[in-house]
Amino acid sequence: MIKRINSTGRRRIARDHVVIEVFDDSPRSFNASIDLAGFDAPAEAAVVLEATCAGSNTISRFEFGTVGEPAPQKRRILQDLHGENVFFSLKVIDRSERLGRLLGLAEHIRPLKGGAKTATGRKGILPVEKADLGDELWRLEFRVEDVFLLVNERIPDLADRVRFDAALYSLIYPSIIREVLYRAFDEQRDSDEDDERWPTLWLRFAHRLHPEQESPPEDEDDEVRQEWIGEVVSAFCRDHSLREKFSQAAGGQGWEEAV
């Protein structure tokens, strides 16, 4: 069970202070190198790493000693975290209080090294992850660190097809872009100094894609946002020739008249 933490007064820790390598053994495990030199915190403050992955609500916590006496937990097994996209959070916690006060935080840390089953570094603004979706083919999962395109793990090669199958790509990606940008406007209002958060990345992507290079509207009027997003989606479809690619990919499948 993850204990509650009082986050009042927390300070950011740069992600490059943590280097993580994941080993795709059975079970999967990891090593982490943490450098807190120069971070002003009591020597007895606890150092903790938390791991999770897309498509799962599981959070695994690992004790790494204290600021004054780093001591990595011996058993660093990523239990029940089977997704390709694994990410970590580093927390420095003052445990002199009952709930513990969060003194420092580094979020959205991706492994620098990993095996064939683990994504390393940033993989674009829409990482794809296999998940148990029942009879649903795909779903968007919004997390603090990223937006993920979850695809049904029971359908062979679906994760590759959503990237490279022109007919499937043409059908789903305009809707994905529209949904993510709507959400990005709401999330961006709570943005902090971290320019790597997904709302910032997606709105930056949309700004470049807009046919007139117009910045995201600051007006909170929904119609203004809808118009801007619609222009971005239309530009995406036009730039990628989606109608033409869909027609070519669907040829011989009885869909020619529909397009």
Instruction: Give residue 65's region: left, alpha or beta (phi > 0; psi -120 to 50).
Output: left
Higher per-residue confidence, 194 vs 44: 44
Give the residue ranges of DSSP H helices in the chain: 158-164, 166-188, 198-209, 222-239, 242-250
Q: What is the DSSP string of 173-208?
A: HHHHHHHHHHHHHHHHTT--S-TTSHHHHHHHHHHH
15 DSSP 8-state letter: G
pLDDT tens digits for range 126-160: 989 999 999 999 999 998 778 999 999 999 899 98
> Confidence band (pLDDT; 50, 70, 90) for 57?
confident
Instruction: Give residue 114's region: left, alpha or beta (phi > 0; psi -120 to 50).
Output: beta
- Return the closest-CA partner of residue 96 out of 45, 26, 172, 137: 45
> Confidence band (pLDDT; 50, 70, 90) for 98?
low
Residue 195: is its pLDDT beyond 70? no
pLDDT for 147: 92
What global pTM score does this model have?
0.70
pLDDT tens digits for range 214-224: 999 988 889 99
Residue 180: is its pLDDT beyond 90? yes
> Confidence band (pLDDT; 50, 70, 90) for 1?
very low
Overall average pLDDT of the 32-61 stretch: 90
Percent of residues, the chain, with pLDDT higher than 70: 89
87 DSSP 8-state letter: E
Which domains, from first to last, does the chain contain? Answer: 11-109 (2.60.40), 128-258 (no CATH)
**DSSP-based three-state secondary structure for 17:** helix
Residue 257: is its pLDDT beyond 50? no
